[in-house]
Amino acid sequence: MATNRDITITEVALRDGSHALGHQYTVEQVTKIAKELDEANVPYIEVAHGDGLAGSSQQYGESLTDEMKLIEAAVSACTNAKIAVLLIPGIGTMTDLRKAHSLGAKMARVATHVTEADVSKQHIGLAKELGMETVGFLMMSHMVSKEKLVEQAQLMESYGADTVYVVDSAGAFLPHEVRERIHALREALTVHIGFHGHNNLSLAMANTLAAIEEGATRIDGSVRCLGAGAGNTQTEVLVAVLERLGLQSGIDFYKMTDLAENVVAPILPKPQEITKDSLVMGYAGVYSSFLLHSQRAAKRFNLDARDILVELGRRKVVGGQEDMIIDVAAEIAEKQQKGIKV
């Protein structure tokens, strides 16, 4: 592995980790975590509802605290770190992006399904107009060929994205698949390449390293693995691994481990681990944020959540279609009552 490149890490626990906490972050928690991340020299900290700006809703999960207050708190807590926000067009609006920018957000990560990059044009354009660093975020990247991925990434680059991310939303990628896709993007694009992993198949770190080997320099991590599904690439572990490889992140390893152990671990409702349900998500290629929704639906209809998740994967349901979870659960329950094998 080359040792002459710096790796820039974006910490996503205050956005992706919101899923694991049922979107119940408080201002006090965000302030404390952001301050310690800043002191550990983390360059970018993403803050938003788990489904991005304006995600708080009955369908996606209602936030305990207005996300704009959380963004403002994080900005106030940081001296050097830049606050990033995620925006999914169709959920968040240009008005939401302007408000986040006015509160001090410096990076806009515009996320679309991997085949729908064209809907990001206006939002990436606005972010550039506002002077924000801009990221194109291609979710559920495992669902398309490397050729299709390149096509969609080139669209985001043409709109002005400074970085384009391969996003393993389901934690379904295998390392060789990541390697092929990052290599293809590196050959086709001139902007930075990023990778965002989930650990549903216990491959987040392996996939991240495969991405780095092929030229990705922008990497997402989550302290204490705090993220949707089985969590993301664990930031403090990633910092240690990068140092072993001679790659520099600029992040203080000891401060990150202290933050993980003393601040983040106590707020987790349960440890982030690969459970039978999160494992099935990676196996079936299901959007990681569907985990809690599927478990709640399973309880409501007296089902095995794995049956719901496998069926969602079979139907290729993607982020934004959370309402389908209840429909699928109801259909499975009806079939079981009729003695039809699921």
- pLDDT tens for the chain, 342 residues: list them: 444 469 999 999 999 999 999 999 999 999 999 999 999 999 999 999 999 999 998 778 899 999 999 999 999 999 999 999 999 999 999 999 999 999 999 999 999 999 999 999 999 999 999 999 999 999 999 999 999 999 999 999 999 999 999 999 999 999 999 999 999 999 999 999 999 999 999 999 999 999 999 999 999 999 999 999 999 999 999 999 999 999 999 999 999 999 999 999 999 988 999 999 999 999 999 988 898 899 999 999 999 999 999 999 999 988 778 889 999 999 999 988 888 876
In a domain, 1, yes or no: no
19 is catalytic: yes
What is the C-alpha to C-alpha distance for residues 13 and 9, in angstroms, rounded to an integer? Answer: 12
Phi, psi angles (nearest 5°) of residue 287: -50, 125
In a domain, 279, yes or no: no
Q: Is 169 annotated as a binding residue?
A: yes
- Domains: count for the chain: 2
Question: Which single residue is written with the structure tokens 């729908």?
Answer: 116
- In sequence order, the 6+-apart residues with CB closer than 8 A to the CB of 95 are none
Note whether 178 and 319 are same-domain residues: no
Q: Give me the domain span that covers residue 220.
A: 8-267
In a domain, 275, yes or no: no
Q: Is 16 annotated as a binding residue?
A: yes
Q: Is 196 annotated as a binding residue?
A: yes
The encoded tokens of residue 120 equal 């990001």
Note whether 32 and 155 are same-domain residues: yes
Give the active site residue among 19, 23, 183, 293.
19
In a domain, 245, yes or no: yes
In a domain, 63, yes or no: yes
Domain of residue 325, CATH code: 1.10.8.60
Contact call for residues 44 and 82 (beta carbons, < 8 A) = yes
Q: Is 198 annotated as a binding residue?
A: yes
Note whether 155 and 235 are same-domain residues: yes
